[in-house]
Structure 1
């Protein structure tokens, strides 16, 4: 047996080998049986139900709001407008609240109806009369960048959305705020070498411009939250279907002017997030709760989810690639513009960093602009910025292979950044697994047999991708319970099966069956902390803390038993729910018996509670290559996907079943984006795709 190492945490071998075991999700049964309790299942005494009155205009001045008829409807408790709330500067999307005198995207909430039931709130919507004076709106990238375009923030640009930072997508760079009056919130650039000389040395140059649609994360569960305020104090409790309970606590406390310790956020089970569920309407609902003095629950309708939350940005990417006849890349110019909507925060930085770093090219300039427009602000979605940048770059690499009459896999292998390569920002790649995934794809039968597929009228293509991986601090707590189970508390939201992974880590570190490990996602008052669940960092960061906590709990357990049995802790092991002397299994104490001794009146043994804390600073990048076999009907243009191969560098899979689920789910979302999905807007900036129908 060998130790399992997770960066700074090493798990010595124990009697249990759980890591790497295909394991069903610990919450799977409660989900399929309907026992799990989502935020929409929460019911509080005296609770009101909230619905938004939203703007139909992308840009307009509000001339009047008449709420009288809606407020008079039986069952309506209140109809709030901006005049009923504090005048908070809209420095971020979380602080935008209700539109006060001007709307800046179609779907922006203008009034909040609070009623005794969702049905009554729905009926009251049509009774609110809002008069608008439509104003010019720049909705597309071209419109927003045009000379003389109407400005989203004529009085000065506001701060960045928290979405990019929460997912590890704000990687810095030579970022410059635009000082002149324009809709360009910021401009970023990385470069190395001599671009002009690189293109002069090229035998073949290909330049293309790609436009990329905005899509929505579209989780099955829409955004939802509930807020309750203690009538005898300023303490607030928030239930939210969020990927980041601590982000919600921070924003709600700030909007209410409270200490964060006076706000408790309980993260409810998340019915899908994909990066889009951070903090959005919780601060507004908290202010409304304070205004009316009753608990409130808000569950967005599907229409509101699509028009009033945070989809991906519309994009435009220009790629210019130079290569010599033997396939050596000599120069790359890569320019990205993302439509960030009404607030900054598109994933420009990470898009440029990955786009300019996947290949070993001596002369590179990558640049990008974060562009404001009269649309809803954008959010993260499955490696934000990377599908767009890699689609554009890989399309040009494929075209270069055809122009040079070279094998597209060999061309990529020839130019792939190696283990000693540097990122475009001058920092070393933490690791580089691009060659390995390409070689695995190259050996796959679908690639090996591509000639037969092409002879049958099908196309076979490939592309690569990568993600740097998130970092950050985390803590966890581990307690040996009276029934002999191990109880782990973490501060993260459970998405993508992370709780099951934590159970496997704790089981192996402590030496107990995974079925005997209970995982609790504590609220923000609990002992554990975690950043937002996103950016491929939760198992990597929280997992370290879980392993540490379980190891410390094991140490305390063995120490207690060493006193009881008068043996050295090194002579003890945990096997089948008992602590026993090595080589003498009859000399043992059950974990349940030991835990009971730490919780009894007059007991002399301290409770067994371990804590783990860690701040992961080293990124752990992941790389992928995908291979598709497709057929196009020349008469109708219909595309049929026959085969899709996914090769992913995952390091050591804690739970292979969960990893495979993530790979397949992500790939299918990519297929949807490529072939079927798009957020469409009419010439007035109104969303056309405002439902799933």
Structure 2
């Protein structure tokens, strides 16, 4: 390989570091108006009246929009809810939109909008929400599932159809094999615990921002989105336009992690269309934490049984996911992963999704996987301790391998679950864990995975007159995918990556690509790029064969030129070939390769992790000293960026483990609506050292065998840290985040 496997920096890294990248908030248009939201302070209330007179009287205010100014759309998903009509169902729900000549005026006027609320009973605990007498989030019947982002991530594994009833239960999943009840009764050693995880926000640096401009026919939207084609189709449907009338220009995304698919784009589009002027909405950090869509909280009860010889015989689990005000949690993929990591003969898993009076949820980096993995990997570690066996050996004895059945009964495709466990088993940190404990530190292990996303994609490859290649794609680059595409093209043409230009078009100019999420862009769009480049290469060789009067089989492409093997001096540069296709009277058509893929088989990725921690017994503060990550990447297209993904994912995993939670009081009020209250990992909280081990088990369909790498590194971190705390202190914590208060109480023998 001449390009694949090289450590190449992000193409736009220097520009981002220097502040030269223009984001959605930098879009400047003539006549641009600025919008601010008016949010509900109540989790549940009837809207008696909205008085906008004082706000409209403020100089510079152009309009104050309420639901009465918008079409009465059936709110089958959060982005169709637009503005509250008659009733609010979560604290932070938008009730009005103030539009003014500048942002400060819009905010001042928003503070003057008076809403007469009649507070209604609300329930924010999912177990309480299942009670027969609980107030219903949707008394008229539960709307359609808000699960498009879960499906786009590859997290859609199906579920039972919950018929519309007077209930807050919006989805159920059930998986089973063998006889779990009988096996549990016969098990000689049983671990039984309930694990909880908190609501966690994606906390991207750039707030959600949308700009919409009405056109003579249609509308143009600039937005910080991971899914431009999804935005296009939904906005077109809501505005009653054809998709070609809606142009979505994806701006560089300042972090998304699954939270920037679609939310306020339809609302801003409606405002721009109504006012016939461009409108921008840019959220504040408080609005982000109140009004967007975080990852759901979960309660998972696990029973794991084994014989004393170390054979695991049974797994039973019940998962309860808090969906907020709309259906669409990843309870299905959580149940699937919990029951599929290991080959256990008797399994019964039930998952339930429940509506509460909170903001609805969204995808967040491997949706559902961190919750499920925290539960099963904590239980596996405790079982190993009770059996007196090595925790990695117990996992390896039962770990699923290629061809083994998942809990759905279908065979796992080629996977590297066992490979990553074997990689960390040999690491000195694991081999010397007892010495570490003697020094006051604990070492924990966990493994987790992600099924991998799939979606059709296309790409084109054009040879330019100067000998460079222009690759046109429709996918949003979040974490260096365009850099990977350049390496793929450079490998095929044997040219430096600098000779490859990657262009991300908008929805009217680019070939289709799915949403950037689910660790699928390199796997799917990268495969289309490879196909397009290969086709372009064949066109180049065909032209060269005719010009050089040589058999195509005697030609080779290297160093930016086509050479005749064994005949020095007989060659044509790529620039010369392109020139023959781009001139008056030319005999050859331009070199333009097309790639189209519709991969239907997922390429799951797994990551095993070791965490070394110490715990201050007086304060409960957990200090993470080292993290070791071994991940199956299929084929490392760009090891530098893969390691960056692994490190970033693990740091977010530390957020799940030790810091992050959206807290509510008993009345449904958000207590953590700013970064003053919501703790995210900062530089001092990151592990002192993070080591990445790249394991390559090539996938069958990814370009050069590559797999997606973004999701797996976040999955196992919380469990590895919890197991390390147990190794250091002998105390097991089952609730995330493991804050100093919780750890200290556990050390004192209290409720963790």
Please give the range of the TM-score, normalised by the shorter of the 2 chains: over 0.9
Q: Which residue of 2 aligns with 1:559?
A: 542
Aligned residue number for residue 121 of structure 2? 136
Task: Kindly state the Cα deviation for residue 210 of structure 1 after the two structures are TM-superposed.
Answer: 1.3
> Per-residue CA shift, 1:109-132, capped at 9, x if unaligned?
111111111111111121111111
The whole-number CA distance in structure 2 between the counterparts of 1:109 and 1:179 is 26
Question: What is the distance in 1 between the residues matched to 2:32 and 2:566?
Answer: 61
Task: Give the Cα separation in 2 of the matches to 1:119 and 1:572.
Answer: 65
**Distance (whole Å) between structure 2 residues aligned to residue 437 and residue 149 of structure 1:** 46
SS in structure 2 at match of 1:176: coil
Counterpart CA distance in 2 for 1:62 and 1:449 is: 63
2:318 aligns with: 335
Distance in 1 between residues matched to 2:287 and 2:567, nearest whole Å: 65
Which residue does the alignment assign to 2:470? 487
What corresponds to 2:561 in structure 1? 578
- Deviation readout 1:232-262 (Å, 9 max, x if unpaired): 32x2111111111011001100100111111
* Other-structure match for 2:157: 171
Instruction: Verify the 8 A CA contact 1:545 1:614 in the aligned structure 2.
Output: yes
Write out per-residue CA displacement over residues 92-140 of structure 1, whole angstroms, 9 at most, x where no aligned residue: 1110000011011111111111111111111112111111111111112
| 1:53-72 map, 5 Å | 53-72=38-57
Deviations 1:156-206 (A, max 9, x none): 001111221121111114x13144311000111010011122113310112
| Counterparts of residues 414-563 of structure 1 (less than 5 Å) | 414-563=397-546
Distance 2:493 2:169 in 1: 53
Measured in 2, the distance between the counterparts of 1:105 and 1:123 equals: 23
- Show the 5 A alignment for 1:354-393: 354-393=337-376
Supply the distance in 2 between the matched residues of 1:610 and 1:396 (Cα, whole angstroms). Answer: 51
The reply to whether residue 609 of structure 1 matches residue 592 of structure 2 is: yes
Q: Counterparts of 1:338 and 1:653 in 2: how far apart (Å)?
A: 35
Shift of 1:634: 1.1
Counterparts of 1:377 and 1:152, CA distance in 2:
11
Per-residue CA deviations over 1:400-450 (Å, capped at 9, x if unaligned) read 112111111111112212333100011001123222111111111111111
Q: Given that residues 201 and 330 in structure 1 are in contact (C-alpha distance below 8 angstroms), is that contact kept between their aligned partners in structure 2?
A: no
Is the contact made by 1:510 and 1:553 (CA closer than 8 Å) also made in structure 2? no
Per-residue CA shift, 1:293-352, capped at 9, x if unaligned? 111111111111111111010111000111000111111101111111111110011101
Q: Which moved more, 1:452-461 or 1:562-571?
A: 562-571
Write out per-residue CA displacement over residues 364-403 of structure 1, whole angstroms, 9 at most, x where no aligned residue: 0111011111111101111110110010111111111121
Farther-moved stretch of structure 1 (136-145 vs 498-507): 136-145
Partner of 2:145: 160
- Please, which of 364, 382, 387 is the counterpart of residue 399 of structure 1? 382
Whether contact under 8 Å (2:504, 2:510) holds in the other structure is: no
CA shift for structure 1 position 629: 1.1
Which of 638, 642, 650 is residue 667 of structure 1 equivalent to?
650
Matched, 1:649 2:632: yes
| Contact 2:257-2:365 at 8 Å conserved across structures | yes
Structure 2 counterpart of 1:83: 68
Aligned-partner Cα distance in 1 for 2:21–2:564:
41
C-alpha distance in structure 2 between counterparts of 1:648 and 1:575, whole Å: 33
Are the equivalent residues in 2 in contact too, given 1:46–1:295 (CA < 8 A)?
yes
> TM-score scaled by structure 2?
0.88
The alignment status of 1:625 with 2:608, answered yes or no, reads: yes
Structure-to-structure mapping, 1:588-607, within 5 angstroms: 588-607=571-590
| Contact preservation (8 Å) 1:62, 1:101 | yes
Structure 1 residue 585: Cα displacement: 4.2
Q: Which runs of 5+ in 2 are unaligned?
A: 677-752
Match of residue 116, structure 1, among 101, 112, 115: 101
SS in 1 for 2:569: strand
Range 203-212 or range 213-222, more displaced: 203-212
1: distance between equivalents of 2:632 and 2:254?
Answer: 27
Residues 613-650 of structure 1 show CA distances to partners (whole Å, capped at 9, x for unaligned) of 01111111111111111111111111111111111111
Partner of 2:191: 206
After the TM superposition, list the runs of 4 or more consecutive aligned residues in structure 1 that deviate by more than 4 angstroms.
Answer: none
Residues 512, 574 of structure 1: 8 Å contact kept: no
Residue 295 (str. 1) matches residue 295 (str. 2):
no
Summarize the Cα distance change of 1:601–1:21 in structure 2 as closer, same or farther, 3 Å threshold. Answer: same
Q: CA deviation at 1:564?
A: 2.1
The verdict on how the C-alpha distance between 1:644 and 1:164 changes in structure 2, with shifts beyond 3 A counting, is same
Of 210, 218, 234, which residue of structure 2 is paired with 1:225? 210
Conservation of the 8 A alpha-carbon contact between 1:59 and 1:137: yes
Alpha-carbon distance in structure 2 between the residues aligned to 1:460 and 1:531: 40
Q: Do structure 1's residue 181 and structure 2's residue 166 form an aligned pair?
A: yes
Q: Residues of 2 paired with 1:562 and 1:229: CA distance? A: 51
Which deviates more from structure 2 when the two are superposed, residues 609-618 or residues 116-125? 116-125
With structure 1 as the length reference, what TM-score do the two structures score? 0.96
Distance 1:590 1:532 in 2: 37
**Offset of 1:148 from its aligned partner?**
0.9
Pairwise CA distance, 1:578:
2.2
Q: How far 1:487 moved relative to its partner?
A: 0.3
1:10 corresponds in structure 2 to none
Match of 1:52 in 2: 37
How do 1:237-386 residues align onto structure 2 when only pairs under 5 Å count?
A: 237-386=220-369
Identify the residue that residue 92 of structure 1 maps to in structure 2.
77
Structure 2 residue corresponding to 1:102, chosen from 87, 93, 104: 87
Secondary structure at the residue paired with 1:616? coil
**Per-residue Cα deviation, 1:567-586 (whole angstroms, up to 9, x for no partner):** 22222222222223223342
Instruction: Give the Cα separation in 2 of the matches to 1:113 and 1:596.
Output: 55
Deviations 1:645-693 (A, max 9, x none): 1111111111111110111100010111110111011222121111112
Tell me whether 204-213 or 562-571 shows the greater mean CA deviation: 562-571
Q: CA deviation at 1:527?
A: 4.0
| Paired residue total | 675
Counterparts of 1:423 and 1:374, CA distance in 2: 35
Distance 1:583 1:308 in 2: 67
8 Å CA contact retained: 2:141, 2:165: no
After TM superposition, the structure 1 stretch with the greater mean CA deviation from structure 2, 574-583 or 606-615, is 574-583
Q: Distance in 2 between matches of 1:380 and 1:527?
A: 25
Displacement of 1:39 after TM fit? 0.6
8 Å Cα contact 1:141/1:314 also seen in 2: no
Query: In 1, Cα distance between the equivalents of 2:181 and 2:656?
Result: 35
Question: By how many angstroms is 1:604 displaced?
Answer: 2.3
